[in-house]
Amino acid sequence: MTWIATDYASLLWWLDMTGTYVFGLSGGMLAVRRQLDLFGVIVLATAAATAGGVIRDMAIGDQPAAMLRDPSYLLVTLLAGLTAFFFHRLIECASKPVMLLDALGLGTFTVAGTQKALIFGLHPAAACVIGVLTAVGGGVIRDLLVTEIPRVLREEIYAVAAIIGAGLVILGDHLGWSPLLTTSIALLATFFIRVLSVRLNLRIPRAP
Question: What's the pTM value of the predicted model, to 2 decimals?
Answer: 0.87
The residue that leads in pLDDT, 5 or 56, is: 56
What's the pLDDT score for residue 3?
41
Beta carbons within 8 Å of 128's beta carbon, 6+ residues apart: 114, 163, 166, 167, 170
Asked if residue 134 lies in contact with residue 55, where contact means CB atoms within 8 angstroms, the answer is yes
Query: For the purposes of burial, counting CB atoms within 10 Å of the CB of 61, is it exposed (0-12), middle (13-18) or buried (19 or more)?
Result: exposed
Instruction: Give the model's confidence band at 198: pLDDT under 50 very low, under 70 low, under 90 confident, else very high.
Output: confident
Q: What DSSP element (H or E) covers 86?
A: helix 72-91
Alpha helices, DSSP H only, in 92-123?
97-119
Radius of gyration of the chain (CA): 16
Strand partners, 203: 156
Mean predicted confidence (pLDDT) in 118-136:
95
pLDDT at 133 > cutoff 80: yes
Cα–Cα dist 163/53, whole Å = 17
Cα–Cα dist 35/197, whole Å = 28
Instruction: Give the model's confidence band at 64: pLDDT under 50 very low, under 70 low, under 90 confident, else very high.
Output: very high
pLDDT at 7 > cutoff 70: no
- For all residues of the chain together, what is the average pLDDT? 89
Mean predicted confidence (pLDDT) in 36-46:
95
Asked if residue 84 lies in contact with residue 29, where contact means CB atoms within 8 angstroms, the answer is yes
pLDDT at 191 > cutoff 90: yes
The per-residue pLDDT for range 134-173, each reduced to its tens digit, is: 999 998 999 999 988 887 887 678 889 999 999 999 999 9
pLDDT at 9 > cutoff 80: no
**Backbone phi, psi, residue 170, to 5°:** -65, -40
Mean predicted confidence (pLDDT) in 78-99:
87
Instruction: Give the model's confidence band at 2: pLDDT under 50 very low, under 70 low, under 90 confident, else very high.
Output: very low
Mean predicted confidence (pLDDT) in 122-133:
96
